[in-house]
């Protein structure tokens, strides 16, 4: 039994998926700048445990189609892709794991279609309540300044142009290997990619060959598809008005590294541990903080993350 690949038609696009195993479906949703390959450690573990692990390249990434225009990357498009994928797999419900942007997508899948989700594991990122008074980019500029990376990513073409000054593998290393615990921000005379350090050596959890797999895919596709998830944040906010105050109504677990820059950003620990996360995810059953873990936790601490996912999902498996 090994990982196999195929293309499915869903929601008007062709989506590449990697899969292994049989049994209840576990949908693994990656973030930026990643691929199905980010779940290469979890897929065989889940399959061995009796699950059908399915990891797509998300819309705009890898071997999945990338429609032109950021307006084609709203949560409604992305969740629509996943509903179509579940239909193509012939399943009514799935276990769902999301990381980074994939975690935000997974949360909205649960908001829109809780009937299709058995249980949710969020890695690194959690759903935050919608502020009905302020657009996300306006709030971020006020709190973090215009040099904040999510603000910088808004301008079409700017990040792509700056990334292109580096080898693709170097860009991937700057993101995937970061150990920063502060927010990504740049002064007016610098670009985000320039202020991200390049680690002199690879950590033990990733090889040069694995970096090259990511790099070759992004060399083919570029980064625009992934950056469109950032560029549609305000449009998402406009469209999500009806879900103001809505909560996640499926059993939920949250896993984060103690040195993840999301977890260490101002106010996040209080949000997670002070009862605020429980309000928006009332069926939150467990919060796990992994020691010496950074942002790309499912790769860096793959065994621990796989064990935590399995231990949670087994509670709901017959």
284: domain CATH number is: 3.40.50.1820
Mean pLDDT over 202-213 rounds to 96
Give burial (CB, 10 Å; 0-12/13-18/19+) of 185: middle
Mean pLDDT over 58-66 rounds to 98
Active site (catalytic) residues: 100, 230, 295
Per-residue tokens: 291: 């020691």
pLDDT tens string 41-53: 999 999 999 999 9
Mean pLDDT in the chain? 96
Question: Which residues are CB-contacts of 179 (< 8 A; sequence separation ≥ 6)?
Answer: 199, 259, 294
CA 166/CA 163 separation, integer angstroms: 6
Mean pLDDT over 72-91 rounds to 98
End-to-end CA distance of the chain: 23
pLDDT tens string 138-197: 999 999 999 999 999 999 999 999 999 999 999 999 999 998 888 888 888 888 899 898
Number of folded domains in the chain? 1
How distant, in Å, are the alpha carbons of 77, 161, 238, 317 from that of 216? 26, 18, 36, 37
What's this model's pTM, rounded to 2 decimal places?
Answer: 0.96
Q: Which pLDDT band holds residue 272 (cuts at 50, 70, 90)? A: very high
Q: Which pLDDT band holds residue 114 (cuts at 50, 70, 90)? A: very high
Beginning with the edge strand found earlier in the chain, give each strand of the sheet holding 4-10 in spatial order.
Answer: 4-10, 13-20, 52-56, 25-29, 94-99, 117-123, 252-257, 284-290
32: containing domain: 4-314
Of 135-139, 180-184, 212-216, 217-221, the one with minimum mean pLDDT is: 180-184
CA 243/CA 59 separation, integer angstroms: 23
CA 116/CA 95 separation, integer angstroms: 9
Phi, psi of 49 (to 5 degrees): -85, 0
Mean pLDDT over 222-247 rounds to 97
DSSP E strands in the chain: the ranges are 4-10, 13-20, 25-29, 52-56, 94-99, 117-123, 252-257, 284-290
Mean pLDDT over 274-297 rounds to 96
The pLDDT of residue 187 is: 87
Cβ atoms of 21 and 51 within 8 Å: the answer is: yes
The pLDDT of residue 298 is: 98
The pLDDT of residue 318 is: 63
Q: What percent of the chain has pLDDT over 90?
A: 91
Of 15-24, 35-44, 183-192, the one with minimum mean pLDDT is: 183-192
Q: What percent of the chain has pLDDT over 70?
A: 100
Give burial (CB, 10 Å; 0-12/13-18/19+) of 258: middle
Cβ atoms of 92 and 65 within 8 Å: the answer is: no
Whether pLDDT at 200 is above 90: no
Q: Which pLDDT band holds residue 105 (cuts at 50, 70, 90)? A: very high
């Amino acid at each position: 039994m090994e990982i196999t690949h195929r293309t499915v038609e869903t929601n008007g696009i062709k989506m590449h998926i990697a899969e292994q195993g049989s049994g209840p479906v576990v949908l693994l949703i990656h973030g930026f700048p990643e691929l199905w390959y980010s779940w290469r450690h979890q897929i065989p573990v889940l399959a061995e445990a009796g699950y059908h692990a399915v990891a797509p390249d998300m819309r705009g990434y890898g071997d999945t189609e990338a429609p032109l225009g950021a307006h084609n990357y709203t949560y409604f498009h992305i969740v629509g892709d996943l509903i179509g994928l579940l239909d193509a797999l012939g399943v009514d419900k799935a276990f769902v794991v999301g990381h980074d942007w994939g975690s935000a997508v997974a949360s909205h899948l649960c908001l829109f279609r809780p009937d299709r989700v058995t249980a949710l594991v969020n890695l690194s990122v959690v759903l935050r309540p919608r502020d009905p008074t302020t657009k996300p980019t306006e709030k971020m500029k006020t709190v973090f300044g215009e040099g904040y990376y999510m603000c910088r990513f808004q301008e079409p073409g700017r990040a792509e142009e700056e990334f292109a000054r580096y080898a693709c593998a170097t860009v991937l290393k700057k993101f995937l290997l970061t150990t920063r615990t502060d927010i990504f921000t740049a002064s007016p005379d610098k670009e985000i990619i320039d202020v991200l350090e390049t680690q002199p050596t690879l950590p033990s959890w990733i090889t040069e060959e694995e970096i090259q797999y990511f790099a070759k895919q992004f060399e083919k596709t570029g980064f625009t598809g992934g950056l469109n998830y950032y560029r549609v944040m305000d449009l998402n906010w406009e469209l999500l008005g009806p879900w103001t105050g809505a909560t996640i109504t499926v059993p939920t677990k949250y896993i984060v590294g103690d040195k993840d820059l999301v977890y260490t950003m101002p106010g996040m620990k209080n949000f997670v541990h002070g009862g605020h996360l429980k309000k928006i995810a009332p069926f939150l059953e467990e919060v796990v903080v992994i020691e010496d873990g950074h942002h790309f936790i499912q790769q860096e601490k793959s065994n621990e993350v796989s064990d935590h996912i399995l231990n949670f999902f087994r509670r709901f498996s017959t």
